[in-house]
Amino acid sequence: MKYFKKILKYAIPYKSFAFLNIFFNILYALFSALSMIAFIPLLEVLFQSTKKIVIKPKYSEISSLKTYLEEWLSFQINHQLNEDIGVTLIYVVSIVIALFLFKNLFNYLALFFITYLRNGVLKDIRNAIFDKIINLPVTFFTEKKKGDIMARMSTDVLEVQISFLSILELLIREPLTIIFTLIAMFTISFKLTLFVIIFIPISGFFISLIGKKLRRDSDLVQKEQGNFLSLIDETINGQKIIKTFGAGNSFIHKFQNSTEKFFNYSNRLLHRTNLAAPTSEFFGITVIGFLLWYGGQMVLIDQEIKGSTFLVFIGLAYNILTPAKAISKSIFSIRKGDAAAARIIEILEAENTLKDKKDAIDKISFKSKIEFKNVSFSYENQVVIPNLNLTIKKGETVALVGQSGSGKTTIANLLARFYDVNTGSISLDGIALPKMKKKSLHDMIGIVTQDSILFNDSIINNLIIGKKSATKEEVIKAAKAANAHHFIIAMEKGYDSHIGESGNKLSGGQKQRISIARAILKNPQILILDEATSSLDTESEKLVQEALEYIMLGRTAVVIAHRLSTIQKADLIVVMKNGKIIETGSHTQLLSKKEEYYNLVQLQQI
């Protein structure tokens, strides 16, 4: 329950609905008992076993209230019987129907108000998870499977929502139903009620034994669901590779293995859950059986209680079994909900290592230089950048070149503060990145990556993602600058055309030009180009390169490139190897040295 308690705070905004639910559950529980008691006068009319009270009784004191009520009811029935037995029967039946009507009305109203609570909590938890996902650092998502995160936002949250109804039933409705019913039973027979109370905890103990391992089973089911959702995501995204490499059977085997585990875990969980209802019913009918034996003696031999009253008492006893069974099911549901809550809390309480510091400032503009000073960085235990020093002046285009794994992209990620350095510092105008708000840093930066990251939306919505206030004229101007306008207007709906999942309705060159247009529209002060042309054909590369040259004019640009022909105009070329800078200079200067850069150029000209 410790994780589920943490989820309960999301119910606070909806506490008024919780109070209304509790209020109507109290009325439901009360009328549930009264509706059973109302059968006593009906049965007495049918069996004509009521005492002949012809003088209207008078109330004297609280201690004789039960006797007064019995005699008053008997007087009323006898009075009506003397008038017309048919009218009396209608009168008594009408009371029974009215009580059942109110009981079910209050039941509906209780469920009506809890609906707002449950769905409100569902909405707020999902919003909180999504907000957390947006703000968590990139490192979190390199360690978690995407499908597992999706499962936590969907099925786990839904499980918690279902458990919310269970906990309110467990704490309010069903216990109150039992309490009011017991009060009614005590007024009928103290001995019989005591007999029932002794047997109910015994049956409850055996039922509780079933659910001990339920939380662990539920956790296994939810984790395996996350695994096969991740596999589905990977399969959909990797269709081309799976087909061309003939890996279909391998993925089918992996998926079937995952669903087989899910099948076994689910069976074990459902078997344990389904055992609760028949077990509780068996113990319940056992209690009723003993009650019939013991109560039958009181009616037939000792004559301590009338037959009609005993029948109602049996009904009341069964009225206890239904909420008792609901409580046992609620306990199972809450245990499942607690397992789901644990997985949700893991995300909601995940540490954000890149949070803004309390004294972080808003930096609006970049004025002089970016400085990497004695920067070291490791991915887990692997050192990627050992000790790097680099200064990038405002307005310069600095190209990072070198073999794969030399640390080029890591430098860009550190500059954008997707990660924090282990030692050393990165500063803008002398202000270390952790001392400025991430939003203000990101407002100054624009990124164009090798893999164009586009969203399943219209072209215009993809373009204005960094500048919602952009006018149509500004959008078109940016698209023209990126050599994208002509193919956009050729599409059926122009700028309102949807581009599909990850922009798959567009070619690689078109997607890249949309990405560049998006960056141009944002008008960033610092531009990061991460191998923006490496995956393009010659014609597309030429168009994209023209767009890149336009966007780099007057801006500070960090260019990561494998194709060295695209960075010859850079103000400074930084050659990297194993995370270290081994050469710096212009294209001409580095060629004249005939060292690492020269060798790279020669290799690409072969």
Summarised one tens digit per residue, pLDDT across range 35-44 is: 777 666 556 5
Cβ-in-10-Å burial (0-12, 13-18, 19+) of 392 comes to buried
Measured on CA atoms in the order 89, 91, 96, 100, is the torsion positive or negative?
positive
Q: What is the pLDDT of residue 280?
A: 66
Q: Would you state the pLDDT for residue 236?
A: 67
Nearest 10 degrees: CA dihedral of 545, 549, 555, 560?
30
Across the chain, mean pLDDT equals: 78
Written as one string, the DSSP assignment of 177-239 is: HHHHHHHHHHHH-HHHHHHHHHHHHHHHHHHHHHTTTHHHHHHHHHHHHHHHHHHHHHHHHTH
pLDDT tens track for 186-212: 877 787 788 777 766 666 566 556 555
User: Quick one: pLDDT at residue 503?
Assistant: 81
Q: What is the pLDDT at residue 122?
A: 83
User: Per-residue pLDDT tens for 489-503?
Assistant: 998 899 999 888 778
Mean pLDDT along residues 91-102: 79
Reported as a pLDDT band with limits 50, 70 and 90, residue 370 is very high
Checking 409-412 for CB contacts under 8 A at 24+ apart, the result is: 409/530, 409/560, 410/377, 410/384, 410/385, 410/579, 411/372, 411/385, 411/558, 412/447, 412/528, 412/530, 412/558, 412/560
Structure token digits, residue 492: 């059926």
Q: Please, which pLDDT band fits residue 53 given cuts at 50, 70 and 90?
A: very low
**Measured CA distances, 403 to 7, 376, 448, 572, 588 (Å):** 49, 19, 20, 18, 20
**Confidence category of residue 213, pLDDT binned at 50, 70, 90:** low
In the DSSP assignment, the letter for residue 497 is -
- Exposed/middle/buried for residue 473 (C-beta within 10 Å: 0-12, 13-18, 19+): exposed
Residue 166 has pLDDT above 90, yes or no: no
Q: Which residues contact 224 (CB under 8 A, 6 or more apart)?
A: 258, 261, 262, 265
Give dist(CA 568, CA 588) in Å, integer.
8
Higher local confidence (pLDDT), 264 or 67 = 264
- Grouping H, G, I as helix, E, B as strand and the rest as coil, residue 21 is helix
Residue 319 tokens read as: 């009225």
Please answer whether residues 463 and 475 qualify as being in contact, where contact means their C-beta atoms are separated by less than 8 angstroms.
yes
In the predicted structure, residue 512 carries a pLDDT above the cut 60? yes
With cut-offs at 50, 70 and 90, classify the pLDDT of residue 311: confident
Distance separating alpha carbons of residues 299 and 310, to the nearest angstrom: 8
Per-residue pLDDT tens digits for 352-362: 778 888 888 99
The two three-digit tokens of residue 179, written as one number: 């309490």
pLDDT in tens, 373-424: 999 998 877 888 988 999 999 989 899 998 888 888 889 889 988 888 889 9
Distance between CA 301 and CA 293 in Å, rounded?
11
| pLDDT tens string 117-131 | 888 888 888 888 888
The helix (H) or strand (E) run that includes residue 584 is strand 580-585
Q: What is the DSSP letter of 298?
A: H
Q: What pLDDT, on a 0 to 100 scale, did the predictor assign at position 303? A: 66
Instruction: Specify the pLDDT at position 540.
Output: 66
Choose between 80 and 291: higher pLDDT: 291
Weakest mean pLDDT among 213-217, 447-451, 520-524, 572-576: 213-217
Q: Which residues, other chains included, contact 473 with Cβ-Cβ below 8 Å and sequence gap of 6+?
A: none
CA distances from 470 to 461, 497, 555 (A): 11, 18, 20
Partnered with residue 413 across adjacent β-strands are none
Q: The tokens of 557 are what?
A: 């640009």
pLDDT of residue 537: 63
Cα gap 282→328, rounded to integer Å: 13
